[in-house]
Structure 1
Amino acid sequence: MKRVIVESLNLEAQGVARVRDEQGVPGKVIFIDGALPGEDVTFESYKVKSKFELAKLIHLHKASPSRISPRCPSFGVCGGCSMQHLDPRAQLAMKQRVLEDNLKYLARTRPEVLLRPIAGPTWEYRYRGRLSVFKIPKGRVLVGFHQKKANRITDMLSCDILPKHVSDLLPHWRELINQLSVPDQIAQLEFAIGEGKKFGTLSTVFVLRHMVPLGQGDQQLLREFAKKHHIDLWLQPGDLDTAKPFYPEDSYFCYRLPEFDIEMPFKPTDFTQVNHQINQVLVGRAVRLLDPEQEDRVLDLFCGIGNFTLPLARWASQVFGIEGSSSLTDRAKENAIHNQLGDKVNFACSNLFEVDTQVIKSWGKASKWLIDPPRGGAMALMTSLAELAKSGNSEDHAYLPKRIVYVSCNPATLARDVGILVKDTGYQLKSAGVVNMFPHTSHIESIAVFER
């Protein structure tokens, strides 16, 4: 065991420190679970590598003023949250600093303006999630998130980042699944919360993933459970396409974006943002930052079911949404028609990770782009834009948008892509800021604006 002063916090919410020798020369990096910047701690390493060590906190000699007591009894075991011991205001400041550091050290640039962080409720915010299920041989059933750094399920009876009515159902789900004839063949529970047909009413749906057919007795138990707890229940015997309503058979879910008069129907297995309140604010900010005008044609890349596409269509002349999943683009087309925007919106299915200059040209000219990629970022898009920018052909330059709004869920890949846009493509990073979509976790959502 050794004693050290923690210097900073990494993206996994581990304290970062270096043990110094008698001459004050710092040694290799130590990542300490549960330690916060400025704290005086004793630690013990459990994994030793040539360039770093992973360690656990043994004793806290001096606590950070930002340290708070975790609210969840499973904190430290469950892998769902990593920052409940850090004051939410400090969490947000840390995420902002991580974004700035990634832009500074990886992209070698900084935004002209730092946007005010988007933040909201820090508890009961998760409106969508996937819970694993495991039947202990000759024992009880576990329903919850995976443990931290382990392929085991947390023995949890509640979860404070879930809405209370969902959290309260966790022990009831454990009891129900244990009563089924095949409890060891239930793999997971996916849940989603949306608004119903009547404005302001919330509906909750659970999707039960079962590996073998369910008998009539099991189906009756499930039906009675859904009735008793006022939830909708879907069954999923195979891949996502097999998920179907079980009770009731006429499920309807949507989320609404009141600022744009958009109603977005979705299926519980569709990708939607987990934090509906933050998503409303994010969509509004993204549209205003892109600032489409009535004569503008806009591209929405990685468009999903139309989360940004349809609000953009309220302002722009035409919006072209592109997504790699045909099921999502089908849903997006249905949503455009549902909101009477079919004449202003077009969608296409295309692999945006395999893009070249000819593909970009095939999309047609658009003055403004919105990009919302997954964690891997949009490197193929960025390098193709750089090729167009370096071309001596002025016609190629006409396919470069004047403004880009980039919504990111990974500051490292954002910084990589920013570097390409700024150094190789002639764009300026006008503004950037963080979006606290996932409080108490290390996930960092952000938004950046570029102009050429």
Structure 2
Amino acid sequence: MGRRHRRKLPAEPVVAEITDLGHDGRGVGRIEEKAIFIHGALPGETVRARVIARNRRYDEALCTEVIEPSPDRVEPDCPWFEQCGGCALQHLAHDAQLTFKHKRLVDNLTRIGEVEPDEWLSPLSAEPWFYRRRSRLSARLVRGKGRVLVGFREKQGRFVADVGYCRVLHPDFSHRLSSLSALLGSLSVADAVPQIETASGDDGSAIVIRHLRELSSEDLMLLKRWSDEQGIAVYLQPKGPDTVHRLWPEQHALQYRLPAFDLTLDFHPQHFIQVNAPLNALLIERALALLAPGPEESVLDLFCGLGNFTLPLARRAGAVTGVEGAEELIQAARSNARANGVDNVEFDVADLAADVSSRPWYRRGFDAALIDPPRSGALEILPVVAGCGARRLVYVSCNPATLARDAGELVRRHGFRLKSAGIADMFPHTAHVESIALFERP
């Protein structure tokens, strides 16, 4: 992104016709041949907007009036939608959100990857509210308001949005923002808590409080009392992520169940898990349906985490190998396998950006593979996938641009064919696009 220029902003609002949605959910239009990205505007609309930033190639603006509305426009359920940056698309009907996300996947595959699947899969979607079982909330003591604000940042990203509740957070936290605000405000370090992380399992929740100064004994007592009253575990993070530790209660565990596979997975509040529990279950079922592992087949699961896909795969396949770069996640995966009586799986800690061809598991070869990489994609390990012998590959992606790039490589360089692809609405009301694709080769 180029340098922003905040000087010489137009004093009067501008009028723009919106032709598209950008990757972040902002409406896209043009003013005198210059692109403009407008928060709160939808394709097909004519809007009046206030320019908030100028750039050599484009301007940024906030919609102040909808002159001609889109038929897909709806009234946001959240009264703070205009200010809060936690959601980008509440003003767009949910079905239309799915259409937008599918279009983004199509556009990325055809434009970046220059590939198209033999079949487009129907979108996976579930209840679009109260779904976020993991979140990172900002906290800030605002002396002018006399309290600590807790929530997502405002749309322009500088301040914490002042909201009363949040309809996308897990029910354990959606109406507890004021309680968290009061809790932090009561601490001696109220001005030194920049964030809170929330984590919810099927039967309980926890918070992780990042604090920049040492807590007093009275602070610790207040946190323990709040934990008992609210039934939510409290973890503390005085420095880096490796300093996270449980304060209260003395015993606590988070877990989620996958009934279709008779599995229960334990996780730590800071472990990566898929944010949307019902959608995660649907995504696992689709991944296994696409990969269709047989009882005599061996499957490789790269970026396996704590076993979210690995253990369900082990219920269907002959043998599964899960590989992940984070040792604490592999330890959790091994523990989950033991707890669920899964004995046809092995796990290994490995840097997946490095050469893993000397690993014993790699030399054995595989019939199929599944990868669930980070946003940066899987470009470095595509030769690993191609060289392991797998004839079927399921690719779960949280970034359609890197999926598209990698799809082009798999097809043109490694001999795969893109059989099917589709979206999964992991983050309703946001512009985030989760997707899944199946590749096969002769």
**Residues 71-110 of structure 1, C-alpha deviations (whole Å, 9 max, x = no match):** 2122132221100110111001110111011111111111
Alpha-carbon offset, residue 384 of structure 1: 5.3
Amino acid corresponding to residue 293 of structure 1 in structure 2: G
Amino acid corresponding to residue 213 of structure 2 in structure 1: V
1:412 lines up with 2:401 in the alignment: yes
Match of 2:248 in 1: 247
Gaps in structure 2 of 5+ consecutive residues: 1-12
Alpha-carbon offset, residue 339 of structure 1: 1.0
Count of matched residue pairs: 428
Amino acid corresponding to residue 302 of structure 1 in structure 2: F
Match of 1:172 in 2: 179
In structure 1, how many angstroms separate the alpha carbons of the residues matched to 2:218 and 2:358?
57
Normalised TM-score (structure 2): 0.92
* 1:98-113 → structure 2 map (5 Å cutoff): 98-113=104-119
Amino acid corresponding to residue 134 of structure 1 in structure 2: R
Question: Is the contact made by 2:303 and 2:371 (CA closer than 8 Å) also made in structure 1?
Answer: yes
Alpha carbons of 1:404 and 1:52: their partners in 2 closer, same or farther (altered >3 Å)?
same
In structure 2, how many angstroms separate the alpha carbons of the residues matched to 1:297 and 1:5?
54
1:187 to 185, 194, 211: 194
> Percent identity over the alignment?
42
Question: Is the contact made by 2:170 and 2:200 (CA closer than 8 Å) also made in structure 1?
Answer: no
Match of 1:198 in 2: none
Match of 2:373 in 1: 373
Amino acid corresponding to residue 168 of structure 1 in structure 2: H
1:35 lines up with 2:41 in the alignment: yes
1:16 to 14, 28, 36: 28
Q: Select between 92-101 and 185-194 the one with higher mean Cα deviation.
A: 185-194
Question: Is the contact made by 1:76 and 1:82 (CA closer than 8 Å) also made in structure 2?
Answer: no
Matched residue of 1:205: which SS? strand
Question: Is the contact made by 2:147 and 2:181 (CA closer than 8 Å) also made in structure 1?
Answer: yes
Alpha-carbon offset, residue 2 of structure 1: 4.1
Alpha carbons of 1:402 and 1:360: their partners in 2 closer, same or farther (altered >3 Å)?
farther
Matched residue of 1:54: which SS? strand
In structure 1, how many angstroms separate the alpha carbons of the residues matched to 2:303 and 2:363?
14
In structure 1, how many angstroms separate the alpha carbons of the residues matched to 2:271 and 2:290?
27
In structure 2, how many angstroms separate the alpha carbons of the residues matched to 1:363 and 1:51?
50
* 1:259-270 → structure 2 map (5 Å cutoff): 259-270=260-271
Q: Select between 52-61 and 248-257 the one with higher mean Cα deviation.
A: 52-61
In structure 2, how many angstroms separate the alpha carbons of the residues matched to 1:126 and 1:153?
18
Amino acid corresponding to residue 63 of structure 1 in structure 2: P
Question: Is the contact made by 1:357 and 1:385 (CA closer than 8 Å) also made in structure 2?
Answer: no
* 1:34-433 → structure 2 map (5 Å cutoff): 34-137=40-143, 139-195=146-202, 202-341=203-342, 343-355=343-355, 362=362, 364-383=364-383, 399-433=388-422
Question: Is the contact made by 2:304 and 2:372 (CA closer than 8 Å) also made in structure 1?
Answer: yes
Amino acid corresponding to residue 440 of structure 1 in structure 2: H
Alpha-carbon offset, residue 19 of structure 1: 4.2
Matched residue of 2:197: which SS? strand
Amino acid corresponding to residue 65 of structure 1 in structure 2: P
Alpha carbons of 1:59 and 1:273: their partners in 2 closer, same or farther (altered >3 Å)?
same
Q: Select between 355-364 and 260-269 the one with higher mean Cα deviation.
A: 355-364
Match of 2:5 in 1: none
Normalised TM-score (structure 1): 0.90
In structure 1, how many angstroms separate the alpha carbons of the residues matched to 2:370 and 2:205?
31
Please identify runs of 4+ aligned residues in structure 1 that moved more than 6 A: none
Match of 2:8 in 1: none
In structure 1, how many angstroms separate the alpha carbons of the residues matched to 2:357 and 2:337?
28
Question: Is the contact made by 1:301 and 1:370 (CA closer than 8 Å) also made in structure 2?
Answer: yes
Q: Select between 88-97 and 58-67 the one with higher mean Cα deviation.
A: 58-67
In structure 1, how many angstroms separate the alpha carbons of the residues matched to 2:384 and 2:296?
26
Match of 1:436 in 2: 425
Amino acid corresponding to residue 405 of structure 2 in structure 1: R
Matched residue of 2:201: which SS? strand
Amino acid corresponding to residue 405 of structure 1 in structure 2: V
Question: Is the contact made by 2:236 and 2:246 (CA closer than 8 Å) also made in structure 1?
Answer: yes
Question: Is the contact made by 2:211 and 2:238 (CA closer than 8 Å) also made in structure 1?
Answer: yes
Match of 1:199 in 2: none
In structure 1, how many angstroms separate the alpha carbons of the residues matched to 2:266 and 2:212?
28
**Residues 14-44 of structure 1, C-alpha deviations (whole Å, 9 max, x = no match):** 1112346xxxxxx232222211111122334
Alpha carbons of 1:356 and 1:329: their partners in 2 closer, same or farther (altered >3 Å)?
closer
In structure 2, how many angstroms separate the alpha carbons of the residues matched to 1:102 and 1:423?
16
In structure 2, how many angstroms separate the alpha carbons of the residues matched to 1:229 and 1:242?
24
Amino acid corresponding to residue 376 of structure 1 in structure 2: S
Amino acid corresponding to residue 283 of structure 2 in structure 1: L
In structure 2, how many angstroms separate the alpha carbons of the residues matched to 1:182 and 1:7?
48
Alpha carbons of 1:384 and 1:264: their partners in 2 closer, same or farther (altered >3 Å)?
closer
**Residues 175-228 of structure 1, C-alpha deviations (whole Å, 9 max, x = no match):** 121111221222322111113xxxxxx212122222333222212211221111
Matched residue of 1:64: which SS? coil
